Amino acid sequence: MKPFSIYNTLTRKVEEFVPRHGRIVTYYSCGPTVYLPQHLGNLRAYVFVDTLKRALRFNGYDVRHVMNITDVGHLTSDADAGEDKIEKTARAEGKSPLAVAKYYTDQFKRDCARLRIELPPDEESITGAVRPPASILCRATNHIADMIGLIERIVRNGLGYVTASGVYFDVEKWRGPSGMGRLSRQSLTEQHAGQRLEHSADKRSPHDFALWVLNQPHHLMQWDSPWGRGYPGWHIECSAMAMRYLGETIDIHSGGLDHIPVHHENEIAQSEGATGQPFVRYFVHNAFLVGMEGAKISKSAGRFPVLDDLVAAAIDPLAFRLLCFGAKYRSELAFNLDAVRAAAKNLGYLQEFTRSLPESAIGADDAAWAAEYRERFHDALNNDLNTPVALAVMLELVAEANRRQDPRVWHTLNDFDQVVNLGLAHELRASREEATDARLQGLLEQREAARQARDYQRSDDLRREIEALGWEIKDTKEGPRITRRRGTP
């Protein structure tokens, strides 16, 4: 097997990826906070998650993937300040927080389906499971007991303390005299430079973060705990859900670059503070989608394009997926409609080639010359997920097939699409069904003409051709009726 290498934020270098348990990969990715639609910047992150997972599978790994849905506890500041994002939307829209969360979770799932992003199985659709599933899309509100149990371990280990306003993690005690963060490589002073650290007066340090929030009587979602009625902090949710399904040490954890200095640092602190074990072996972070002026696309910045905007502009959502694939995940990706339309041309090029493939090319082995392209595609993926080079190889394969007038590349192209995931196999099936439908309609018209001319021999011959296509035909007073034969796909 070829070695697969990826940039590890923990070590600041590209490393060969070696899972803890043979070919099994435990992978946790930060999911959405469901209080507004996911904008295209968010969706770039989920395209990356899907691509990484598919690249690992391309290399023969069995990926156990857990993604969270944050439906409580994420405040308008990533620190402990502001209003709960979901409650803010709930009050504005006059709905319950759970209704808001369900609405935007459903929208997130629809957008992912349009982008052919494979989400883990939704916990709410899993029934009768004796043991936790290998992969799961899980909600914070369904894992409060896991969070409370993890907080109890942190407090017992002397790294959490209880005040009237909540249970807090003692960051300075955890980091020690240097105050350095292992992931961000920043001191606490550097990490919070320029930030206004609002905090409760009973916190030992403004750098400490909430594990459990108390004495917020107006908060709409609250649960009983050993410390009183309240709700979890945002950071504890990911640690609790990751360890619930993947164990105390996981192979890969991904998220956006903005998660490095606060959210992921805090996850490391609270997880290892509870278990005494390394939490994550490879942290992998994707860069932002930016506007042409270089500013990050985000809800807070007011730059908020969503997938429906592309659909309204008559752009296939898969063009956005291809746009993301054409940029290195660690590089900022400039977004505008012209860039997406350029990606749409490449999408159309690949789709048209697929639809034009003759049956002889589909059923035959690929041409020997295609093997070089398979090697180059694989090498690009395994070199820190170099998707721009992998996409270039895919396009070159099609161009070379056209130049040689040798279309025997379907199996190689389809293997590439297991990672790029543009649905080319669906395009192939659709083109064959359309051809079959056109042939069927022609045969029916010819048979009806033969019957009208009383050419029954010709009519019977045409009936047999129709049946060979998988249809049964019955002549009635109203005309011929056709039905699919049993066992025909």
Given a cut of 70, is residue 295 above it in pLDDT? no
413: Cβ contacts below 8 Å, ≥ 6 apart: 350, 353, 354, 394, 397, 398, 424
Tens of pLDDT, residue by residue over 326-352, are 999 999 999 999 999 999 999 999 999
Given a cut of 80, is residue 132 above it in pLDDT? no
Tens of pLDDT, residue by residue over 77-89, are 555 556 788 888 8
Cα dihedral sign for 109, 315, 42, 417? positive
Given a cut of 70, is residue 301 above it in pLDDT? no
Check if the beta carbon of residue 228 is closer than 8 Å to that of residue 215. yes
Helix residue ranges, H only, 289-409: 307-312, 317-325, 337-355, 359-363, 371-382, 387-404
Average pLDDT score over residue span 420-447: 77
Share of the chain above pLDDT 90, in %: 66
Q: Is 212 exposed, middle or buried (0-12, 13-18, 19+ CB in 10 A)?
A: buried
For each of the domains in the chain, give its residue range(s) and CATH number, in order of start.
5-286 (3.40.50.620), 291-422 (1.10.730), 428-484 (no CATH)
Check if the beta carbon of residue 192 is closer than 8 Å to that of residue 184. no
Average pLDDT score over residue span 294-310: 72
The alpha carbons of the chain give a radius of gyration, in whole angstroms, of 27
Given a cut of 70, is residue 434 above it in pLDDT? no
**pLDDT number for residue 206:** 87
Question: What is the rounded CA–CA span in Å between residue 144 and residue 230?
Answer: 11
Packed helices 410-420 and 40-58: angle between N→C axes, nearest 10 degrees: 130
User: In which band, very low, low, confident or very high, does the pLDDT at 373 lie, cut at 50, 70 and 90?
Assistant: very high
Q: How is residue 205 written in tokens?
A: 């340090």
- Full strand arrangement of the beta sheet holding 24-29: 136-139, 62-69, 24-29, 250-256, 280-286
**pLDDT number for residue 201:** 81
Q: Is 391 exposed, middle or buried (0-12, 13-18, 19+ CB in 10 A)?
A: buried
User: In which band, very low, low, confident or very high, does the pLDDT at 196 lie, cut at 50, 70 and 90?
Assistant: very low
Q: How is residue 215 written in tokens?
A: 């004495």
**pLDDT number for residue 136:** 95
Given a cut of 50, is residue 194 above it in pLDDT? no
Distances (CA, A) of 192 to 198, 262, 285, 461: 11, 9, 20, 82
Check if the beta carbon of residue 140 is closer than 8 Å to that of residue 71. yes
Could you say which DSSP state residue 365 is in?
P
**pLDDT number for residue 421:** 97
Q: How is residue 385 written in tokens?
A: 């997920």
The CA-CA-CA angle for residues 85, 29, 6, to 5°, reads 140
Lowest mean pLDDT among 40-49, 183-192, 231-240: 183-192
Claim: this prediction has a pTM higher than 0.75: yes
